[in-house]
Amino acid sequence: MRFKIMGWQLAPTALLALCALSVQAQTVRLTMSHFLGPQSFFQVDLLEPWARELERKTGGRVQVDVLNASSPLGNVRKQASQVKDGVVDIALGLRGAEGDRFSRSSIVELPFVVTDAGSGSKALWKLFQDGVIADEYRDFKVLALFVHNPGLIHTKATLVTELADLKGLRLRVPNATVAAALKHVGAVPKLLQPDEIIPALRTNQLDGIVTNWGTPIAGFNDEMTRHTAVPFYASAFFIVMNKARYESLPSDIRRAVDELSGDALVAQFGPLWNKWDQPFQQGAQAPGRVVLRPDTALLQRWRSGLQPVSDAHLAKLESLGFKSARQVYEQLLTPSGGG
């Protein structure tokens, strides 16, 4: 049998080849969302360059629309849900804002586990690659998992030296893991999103913030005058893609996505967070500011004082089915394990 198209006769094999070329020539539009603003470091230094590089690698056959917090799809609590439901194709999200989702990944958020974003991100990614936490991401195509440089104690007026100095302080926290640690030492944790923090500080509802240097909080250095450089925690983040959408893409486009993700993408977060930290660290050196860098003995007192918090969290993870939680935690604390 032969087919006529616009006056030409084509054999079935030629028709199939023509259809395949037509499909491959179609533009693939992908939507990628995140929860910070259009001028944020996530958009300017990470997601926009990633999107443009994917477009370049596919010869323009892929176009990526990056959506931020200014869009209806920028809710920090819904990034993973939007991907799973197919509302967006790809999202960067904050684990701690997703409720009980990705609970095993919270193991890297415990005190003193992460010493820097580079090694911490590689350690979290290795837990995924080794299958330790992979099951909780089974509904997604995972492009990257990462952490920031350690979160510190930042206050308006009180210099925190010992753990006891935290008692009674009202501090913003990013997730329940950090909240549990602060409650343990008598502080008053308040779970607020980035856009809620400065108003709370200015209306005297907060005494400080527990966060990393490279923070998206506008006005951070205007409000914070005391900084205690203890590796109190690290937040876990994810970049995930809708699995069905990924699998529907032509093989060469899937290959381009893979080449820009995984190990190659995770390796960027150490240098990126160091870059993002720099202006805030410099601002903390201004007159009237104090940065306390604890010595080994003081750090050990903090570590010992917070160990019950880690133990309780590990027990909770074990009760939820993460039977190897303590073993994984101890491995993370070794230099080669990411801590």
231-274: pLDDT as tens digits: 999 999 999 999 999 999 999 999 999 999 999 999 999 999 99
- Angle 9-11-13 (CA atoms, 0-180°, nearest 5)? 145
Percent of the chain topping pLDDT 90: 81
Two domains, one topology: 26-149+235-275 and 151-233+290-337 = yes
19-43 burial by CB neighbour count: b if 16+ within 10 A, else e?
A: eeeeeeeeebebbbbbbbbeebbbb
Helix then strand count (H, E) for the chain reads 14, 13
Mean pLDDT of 49-76: 97
- The CATH code of domain 26-149+235-275 reads 3.40.190.170
> In which band, very low, low, confident or very high, does the pLDDT at 25 lie, cut at 50, 70 and 90?
low
> In which band, very low, low, confident or very high, does the pLDDT at 217 lie, cut at 50, 70 and 90?
confident
103-134 burial by CB neighbour count: b if 16+ within 10 A, else e?
A: bbbbbbbbbbbbbbbbbbbbbbbbbbbeebbe
pLDDT at 18: 44
Percent of the chain topping pLDDT 70: 91
Q: Does domain 151-233+290-337 have CATH number 3.40.190.170?
A: yes
Question: 90 pairs with which residues across the strands?
Answer: 32, 241
What confidence tens digit (pLDDT) does each residue in 275-292 have?
999 999 999 988 999 999
Non-local (6+) Cβ contacts of 197 within 8 A are 172, 206, 209, 217
Q: Which residue has the tokens 């967006």?
A: 88
Say if residue 6's pLDDT is above 60. Answer: no
Say if residue 170's pLDDT is above 70. Answer: yes
Say if residue 13's pLDDT is above 90. Answer: no
What confidence tens digit (pLDDT) does each residue in 75-97 have?
999 999 999 999 999 999 999 88
Mean pLDDT of 304-327: 97
Treating both helix axes as pointing N-terminal to C-terminal, what angle do 296-319 and 176-184 enclose, rounded to 10 degrees? 120
3-state secondary structure of 295: coil
More confident residue, 26 or 238: 238
17-21, 151-155, 289-293: range with lowest mean pLDDT: 17-21
Domain residue extents for the chain: 26-149+235-275, 151-233+290-337
Say if residue 7's pLDDT is above 80. Answer: no
Say if residue 207's pLDDT is above 90. Answer: yes
